[in-house]
Amino acid sequence: MVQERNKHGISRREVIKLSLAQAAGLALLRRTGGAAAADAPKPTPHAKSVIQIWMWGGPAHLDTFDPKPDAGYDYCGPLDRPITTNVAGVQIGQLLPLLAQQADKYAIIRSMTHGVNAHETASYLMQTGRAPDRLVFPCVGAVVSRFKGYDGGYTGVVPPYIVLTELQGRFSEAGFLGQRYKPFATGGDPNAARFAVEGIVAQGITDERQLRRRDLLHALDSLGRVLAGNDQFAEFDRCEENAYNLMFGETRTLFDLSNEKDDVRERYGRNTFGQSCLMARRLVEAGVPYVTINYRGWDTHKQHFQTMQRRLPELDRGMATLLADLADRGLLDSTIVWWGGEFGRTPRVQWEPPWNGGRGHYGNCFSCVVAGGGFRGGTVVGASDKYGAAVAERPVYPRDLIGSIYELLGIDPEGPLPNDRGLEVRLLPTDAEAGAGGGRLREIMSS
Amino acid sequence: MRRLVLLLAVVAVPVAVPAGESPPVLPYEAAGQFVPTGPIDECVLADLRAHGITPAPLCSDAVFVRRVYLDVIGTLPTAAEVGTFLADEHPDKRAVLIDALLERDEFADYWALKWCDVLRVKSEFPINLWPNAAQAYHHWVREALASNLPYDAFVREVLTSSGSNFRVPPVNFYRAGQGHEPETLARAVALTFMGTRLEHWPEEQRRNLAAFFSRVGFKATAEWKEEIVYLDPAAAKPLDATFPDGRCLRVPVGQDPRQAFADWLISADNEWFTRCIANRVWAWLMGRGIVDEPDDVRADNPPANPALLASLQAELVRSGYDLRQLYRVILNSRTYQQSSIPRGDVAEAEAHFAVYLLRRLDAEVLIDAINGICGTHEEYTSAVPEPFTHIPKEKRTIALADGSISSAFLELFGRPARDTGLMAERNNRVTDGQRLHLLNSSHIQKKIQEGPALQDLLRSARRDRRQLVSTLYLTILSRHPTPEEERAAVSYLRSAQAPRQAAHDLVWALFNSREFQFRH
């Protein structure tokens, strides 16, 4: 990526050097604590990027990656014929035939648990690995942005943490890390004729006009001239320069999905989710460390099975194509794909009014899927009981999963989380703070 | 270095420069010596002399009118308001304007917003007041400010109220947060009304303070999300409590220890009480606490100017805890009315209040200003299903009650999450994303191109380019353009093939100027 120099002659690389000096200071701190996982050999960091498919609202584990055909109609409803996959002995939901053909690429965790059935608290747990306390911690994306973004050697013009397309807003995603680590939400719709990324792709303003009015802006900047050298104004200049680099640079081409062949776009599915998956691949290809696809519509209290019939094929096509495409391009080894929501859904179908065939929130036992970046595919971690109601083997808590992702990225889960609030905190809580966990997913992490 | 910059600045704005050490920079400064108007200025000037710091000159009328509107009512003055003020020749016009602004409805809106930040008024995670309680609480705070409830009475109500969260809104103070443990409640009390972080206190003192809140009970009712905050009647033993100053007290059974704590705290002689609020108000208006951060009082974080802080505390007590009077005294001071252009070292000038501190407009104020000029509105959303998310179109952002009701713009521009009550939660730093949004988002561009009030304005002045430029400057930057600015703007309009588009570009350029985006 281009290394640009701002008006004050400080290049991004020099800024990074400063951060590295700070990081060296932190390395000293790191030695003082958190030796929990020290006895097992640490996996080699494989991953450079993460694509998080956030199943907003909580997807039903029974209808996706943990089918229970023997549990009967009260549990399965009409979806009682799971299908075999390309991995011997592994079955998944019948509405996911394309994903069944990619099962060798991902690991299914069937024993996720945190026990919380409220959206906010469960989202917080799944995105931070922590139970709510007085402090609001950053979510995984913000942490990765802290370590792998501009403070960690990333020099891209595109922001290091992108959300397709809207923020969750359930809590401030960067927590106490603050503004700098918040995601860039694209807005717009990647499935529209033109993906209007808010701020980057302007509607109906020519480049010539952009440049002309920028000159006007600078000609009228009287206060800026009077206060030249003021720190806040220097920051303002730096941000403006970055903004123009985004508007005029390679970013525009990156977000322009019409550069992809039609058959590729078709393969991902001509819908917002499918095209978001395609966009995510393009971003990762360009070196962006963290991309979240906020995929709405899984809070299916009512009309559950109708929704599954309609939406699962969309999920199936988009995610299966993403995995295949990443693998074909040699990107899967360095890209973690993480699928899951805040919880699962009640194994027993709520046939009674007012739900009339819905599934409620269920945090006691549910599924997540991970692929790539050093996670071994074609595997299953843990198991639920015969109804998918409780963990039968090998519980996996949110922090076990998140810690594993950090390890594969080369981020120390026990390490300190640098912040400008003066807080002495670690990325993830220790067992002493949070109670015994299930342990990181060493069984599916390549060493 | 600094002098060189100043020299360049003067060259950049070519006006007649009067002889003297520190000529005023036009159009931002006015001529005149630093003449103290009262104890605040005397304390500041004495401190500046002791440190050999030169104060900035008086700000110009144009800077003052914009500044005082933004600081006091969180609202940009209209072009008409600016015009009237600039044309007024009364020598006391600044004092008259200050008095008028303190009586405006927006005063209560804006300061309710600030108070609700520190009181954590928010329905959702991790505060979980829930919508109707958040609305009731905000309404109560706003009314207290509108009626100028004396600060001592305000604090007493917040600390000692019991009852339903819907019917006795100040009880929500104890509900706003994760957990109801005595120490959690004590932390909130210490942070909010003593300006100190209990987590840094020695363990024994923490426990002592927590004891005063150990008998606060919480119970649900049959009404959805109603909660009663009450004195635990089951306590069978008197409570032996120790105040932070070491005094001890036995609270008999049946009496509320919170009452005893309030009696101790709310006293003219209690430094903890008067220092916290005097310093907080100063920080709100001046952009920096005398103790800074303003909610981090510690032995090793002394005030930058102890005499100044003491004079504010004395003023507050003398006025009977009249917050509006405290605002009035600060706003009328020469210190407040300094320009934002420092003479000498910036960091030193800022630390000793020898300059008005530059601050990016608060997220809510910025979007209100843009909407006010364009005649447009925002849409807000909330993550919890709430009855209050449908906000009437005319409602301004500074009047939003609930921290959970938000927009992408507010999140981008650093509106506080209202998670902790720390003043530092409000983040007014500029980011790449913010610049991108104002420079090139459809959200802002649409307002400029389609906002009805702005289109009317452009139509009304379309025949005369100079008048158009002048009107836009008064509307957006609250001042007249300098001759150079007028020339540049008129020439841009003249050379354009599409006049309407060129006018939109001029609005865009002024919105994107630092002068618009900062309080200065």
Q: Which residue of A has its CA nearest to B490?
A: A216
Q: Is the pLDDT of residue B17 over 70?
A: no
Output the pLDDT for position B120: 96
CB half-sphere exposure, A105, CA atoms < 13 A:
28
| Same domain assignment for residues A290 and A190 | yes
Which residues in chain A are closer than 8 Å to B432, comparing Cβ atoms? 159, 239, 242-243, 246
Chain A / chain B CB contacts < 8 angstroms:
180
Output the pLDDT for position A7: 38
Output the pLDDT for position A289: 97
Query: Could you give the 3-state DSSP secondary structure of residue B496?
Result: coil
Output the pLDDT for position B393: 84
Share of chain B above pLDDT 70, in %: 95
Give the model confidence (pLDDT) of B100-137 as tens digits.
Answer: 999 999 999 999 999 999 999 998 888 889 889 999 99
Q: Which residue has the tokens 């100043």?
A: B6
Instruction: For residue A410, give the nearest of A443, A383, A435, A445 by alpha carbon.
Output: A445
Give the pairing type, strands A379-381 and A106-112.
parallel
Q: Which residues contact B410 (CB under 8 A, 6 or more apart)?
A: B363, B364, B367, B397
Please indicate, yes or no, if residue A28 is contained in any of the structural domains.
no
Output the pLDDT for position A21: 39
Which residues in chain B are closer than 8 Å to A210, comparing Cβ atoms? 440
Is residue A19 a contact partner of residue A151, using CB atoms and an 8 Å limit? yes
Please indicate, yes or no, if residue A21 is contained in any of the structural domains.
no
Q: Which residues of A409-419 are buried (b: 16+ CB within 10 A; e: fewer)?
A: bbbbbbbbbbb
Q: Which residues contact A117 (CB under 8 A, 6 or more apart)?
A: A343, A360, A361, A362, A363
Cα separation, B115 vs B136, in Å, equals 14
List Cα–Cα distances, A447 to A41, A46, A86, B471, in angstroms. 8, 9, 24, 68
Query: Inter-chain contact A421–B424, Cβ cutoff 8 Å?
Result: yes
| Same domain assignment for residues A279 and A222 | no
How many Å is the Cα radius of gyration of chain B?
25
Give the model confidence (pLDDT) of B160-206 as tens digits.
Answer: 999 999 999 999 999 998 789 999 999 999 999 999 999 999 999 99
Q: Say if residue A435 is exposed, middle or buried (CB neighbours under 10 Å; 0-12, 13-18, 19+).
A: exposed
Q: Which residue from A132, A179, A224 is facing B126, i.e. has the nearest CB?
A: A132
Cα separation, A384 vs A388, in Å, equals 5
Q: How far is A150 from chain B (nearest CA, A)?
A: 12
Please indicate, yes or no, if residue A240 is contained in any of the structural domains.
yes
Give the model confidence (pLDDT) of B431-477 as tens digits.
Answer: 999 999 999 999 999 999 999 999 999 999 888 999 999 999 999 99
Ramachandran angles phi, psi of A110, nearest 5°: -105, 10
Output the pLDDT for position B21: 59
pLDDT higher at A321 or B125: A321
In B223-295, where does DSSP find H-type helix? 257-265, 271-286
Q: Is the pLDDT of residue A19 over 70?
A: no
| Same domain assignment for residues A150 and A236 | no
Cα separation, B472 vs B479, in Å, equals 9
Q: Report which DSSP code applies to A368.
A: E
Q: Is the pLDDT of residue B387 over 80?
A: no
CA A32 to chain centre: 30
Question: Which residue type occupies A425?
Answer: V
Query: Inter-chain contact B28–A239, Cβ cutoff 8 Å?
Result: no
Please indicate, yes or no, if residue A16 is contained in any of the structural domains.
no
**Band of pLDDT at residue A337, cut at 50, 70 and 90:** very high
Share of chain B above pLDDT 90, in %: 83
Check CB contact of B355 with chain A, cutoff 8 Å: no
Please indicate, yes or no, if residue A283 is contained in any of the structural domains.
yes
Q: Is A389 left (phi over 0), alpha (psi -120 to 50) or beta?
A: alpha
Is residue B518 a contact partner of residue B362, using CB atoms and an 8 Å limit? no
In A170-288, where does DSSP find H-type helix? 207-219, 222-226, 231-248, 251-255, 262-268, 272-285
pLDDT higher at A28 or A121: A121
| Same domain assignment for residues A206 and A194 | no
Query: Inter-chain contact A179–B358, Cβ cutoff 8 Å?
Result: no
**Band of pLDDT at residue A12, cut at 50, 70 and 90:** very low
Q: Based on the structure, what is the number of domains in chain A? A: 2
Is residue B367 a contact partner of residue B391, using CB atoms and an 8 Å limit? no
Element (H, E) at A184: strand A184-185
Ramachandran angles phi, psi of B406, nearest 5°: -150, 180
- Strand segments (E) across A33-96: 49-55, 83-84, 91-92
Sign of CA pseudo-dihedral B505, B506, B508, B514: positive
ipTM: 0.92
Give the model confidence (pLDDT) of B412-422 as tens digits.
Answer: 999 998 988 99
Q: What angle (nearest 5°) sits at the alpha carbon of residue A284, between those of residues A283 and A286?
A: 65
Q: Which residues contact B91 (CB under 8 A, 6 or more apart)?
A: none
Give the model confidence (pLDDT) of A221-244 as tens digits.
Answer: 999 999 988 999 999 999 999 999
List Cα–Cα distances, B173 to A34, A264, B165, in angstroms. 37, 56, 9
Is residue A400 a contact partner of residue A368, using CB atoms and an 8 Å limit? no
Q: Which residue of B has its CA nearest to A185?
A: B408
Which residues in chain A are closer than 8 Å to B2, comparing Cβ atoms? 229
Output the pLDDT for position A202: 77
| Same domain assignment for residues A297 and A166 | yes
Check CB contact of B233 with chain A, cutoff 8 Å: no
Q: How far is A50 from chain B (nearest CA, A)?
A: 21
Mutation site for A-interface testing, chosen from B430, B432, B482, B485 by largest number of A Cβ within 10 Å: B432
Output the pLDDT for position B164: 97
What is this structure's pTM? 0.86
Output the pLDDT for position A169: 67
Peptide bond into A354 cis (omega under 30): yes
Please indicate, yes or no, if residue A235 is contained in any of the structural domains.
yes
| Same domain assignment for residues A183 and A217 | no
Question: Which residue type occupies A4?
Answer: E
**Band of pLDDT at residue A5, cut at 50, 70 and 90:** very low
Ramachandran angles phi, psi of A11, nearest 5°: -85, 160
Give the model confidence (pLDDT) of A408-427 as tens digits.
Answer: 999 999 999 998 877 889 99
Residue B277 tokens, joined: 């609020």
Is residue B239 a contact partner of residue B259, using CB atoms and an 8 Å limit? no
Cα separation, B113 vs B405, in Å, equals 13
Q: Report which DSSP code applies to B76.
A: P
| Same domain assignment for residues A310 and A411 | yes
Stretch B75-79: mean pLDDT:
98
pLDDT higher at A135 or B387: A135
Query: Inter-chain contact B435–A180, Cβ cutoff 8 Å?
Result: no
Question: Which residue type occupies B53?
Answer: I
Cα separation, B128 vs B218, in Å, equals 14
What does the mean pLDDT of chain B come to?
A: 92
| Same domain assignment for residues A239 and A284 | no
| Same domain assignment for residues A69 and A168 | yes
Domain boundaries of chain B, sorted by first residue: 59-103, 109-266+376-429, 271-329, 430-520
Q: Is the pLDDT of residue A179 over 90?
A: no
Peptide bond into B221 cis (omega under 30): no
Residue B454 tokens, joined: 């702005």
Q: Which residue from B5, B125, B187 is facing A132, i.e. has the nearest CB?
A: B125
Q: Which residue has the tokens 């969180």?
A: B74
Ramachandran angles phi, psi of B187, nearest 5°: -60, -45
List the CATH number of the domain containing A384: 3.40.720
Output the pLDDT for position A25: 38
Give the model confidence (pLDDT) of A371-408 as tens digits.
Answer: 999 999 999 999 999 999 999 999 999 999 999 999 99
Q: Which residue has the tokens 């179109």?
A: B393
Please indicate, yes or no, if residue A33 is contained in any of the structural domains.
no
**Band of pLDDT at residue A136, cut at 50, 70 and 90:** confident
Which residues in chain A are closer than 8 Å to B427, comparing Cβ atoms? 178-179
| Same domain assignment for residues A273 and A227 | no
Give the pairing type, strands A335-340 and A49-55.
parallel
Stretch A80-87: mean pLDDT:
97
Output the pLDDT for position A222: 96
Element (H, E) at A371: strand A366-371
Q: What angle (nearest 5°) sits at the alpha carbon of residue B284, between those of residues B407 and B259?
A: 95
Sign of CA pseudo-dihedral B345, B347, B349, B352: negative
Q: Which residue from B8, B178, B514 is facing A134, i.e. has the nearest CB?
A: B178
| Same domain assignment for residues A179 and A301 | yes
Q: Is the pLDDT of residue A333 over 50?
A: yes
Q: Which residues contact B483 (CB under 8 A, 6 or more apart)?
A: none
Look up the domain containing A211 and give its range: 202-251
What does the mean pLDDT of chain A come to?
A: 89
Q: Is the pLDDT of residue A216 over 70?
A: yes
Is residue B239 a contact partner of residue B251, using CB atoms and an 8 Å limit? yes
Partners of B242 in beta bridges: B248
Give the model confidence (pLDDT) of B194-239 as tens digits.
Answer: 999 999 999 999 999 999 999 999 999 998 889 999 998 888 899 9
Q: Helix B483-495 to helix B499-511 angle, to the nearest 10 degrees?
A: 140
Q: Which residues contact B376 (CB under 8 A, 6 or more apart)?
A: B370, B447, B450, B451, B452, B453
Give the model confidence (pLDDT) of B317-354 as tens digits.
Answer: 999 999 999 999 999 999 999 999 999 899 999 999 99
Output the pLDDT for position B19: 35
Question: Which residue type occupies B334?
Answer: R
Stretch A37-58: mean pLDDT:
82
Cα separation, B143 vs B149, in Å, equals 8
| Same domain assignment for residues A230 and A110 | no
**Band of pLDDT at residue B385, cut at 50, 70 and 90:** low
Q: What angle (nearest 5°) sits at the alpha carbon of residue B396, between those of residues B394 and B402?
A: 120
Check CB contact of B417 with chain A, cutoff 8 Å: yes
